[in-house]
Amino acid sequence: MPDKDAGTPRVFLVRHGETEWTISGRYTGRSDIPLTPDGEHQVSSSAGVIVGPGRIIDPSKITHLFISPRTRARRTYELLFDESAQKMIEGKSETTEDIREWEYGAYEGLLTAHIRAARKERGLDKERPWNIWVDGCEEGESADEVSNRLDSIIAKIREIQGPYMHGEKGADVVLIAHGHILRAFAKRWIGFPLSTSLPMMLEPGAVGVLSYEHHKVDEPAFLLGVNMGGSR
């Protein structure tokens, strides 16, 4: 049976590899923390399996990359795409603050337990614990502010991919960024407010995939299963 959505453009969400703060669970926004050796290995291992001609992420089919300016994201890009792949996507990458991590403000470098305890001491969150998806971050970004900047990227991607819903041209897009912002992006991709409870996991160095149903740009969807054979 033929794949009814074959050729539909995809959006690949790539989380940077492990850092020391990833291990400890500290909120890492603007802090420029490098990858650990294990983090570099995570990305390199993923690259060897999923990136290359005829593989899931085929450089010849990439039309645009959005990359966070943080060192950990830039290094992930360098590890994910070897020299030959970088030549193929030359001129298609955009390093932009629009896909930076959530601005944690006063919560930068803290753990969730510490944030909740400190807020409780100040008489906040009497009815429920602090939830970043609802409450945002003091001196940082609100959920609405994050939604607005992600919606602008989504609009750009839909404009890029809209003319090629039936595979007329390779129009895959890659985002290389961070755990919270990529999960927020996934929610906004399908039109959910960030406050919507939609538990998602994206491990360091991992890749998530979004696409569209029925070859229609106004029917965005999660792509829950990817054929590991790669080429479509």
Strands 93-95 and 62-67: parallel
Catalytic residue among 18, 40, 101, 108: 101
Active site residue 166: no
CB 92 within 8 A of CB 66: no
Torsion of Cα atoms, 112 then 113 then 114 then 117, to 10°: 120
Annotation-wise, does 96 bind a ligand? Answer: no
67 beta partners: 95, 176
Annotation-wise, does 27 bind a ligand? Answer: no
Active site residue 180: no
Coil/strand/helix, residue 208: strand
| CB atoms near residue 192 (< 10 Å) | 14
Q: What is the DSSP letter of 187?
A: H
Concatenated DSSP letters of 144-170:
HHHHHHHHHHHHHHHHHHGGGTTSSS-
CB 13 within 8 A of CB 202: yes
Annotation-wise, does 191 bind a ligand? Answer: no
Coil/strand/helix, residue 99: helix
| CB atoms near residue 69 (< 10 Å) | 14
Catalytic residue among 16, 64, 178, 180: 16
Annotation-wise, does 102 bind a ligand? Answer: yes
Annotation-wise, does 72 bind a ligand? Answer: yes
Annotation-wise, does 103 bind a ligand? Answer: yes
Of residues 66, 65, 78, the one with CA closest to residue 35: 78
Binding residues: 28-29, 72, 101-104
Binding residues for substrate: 28-29, 72, 101-104
Positions marked active-site: 16, 101
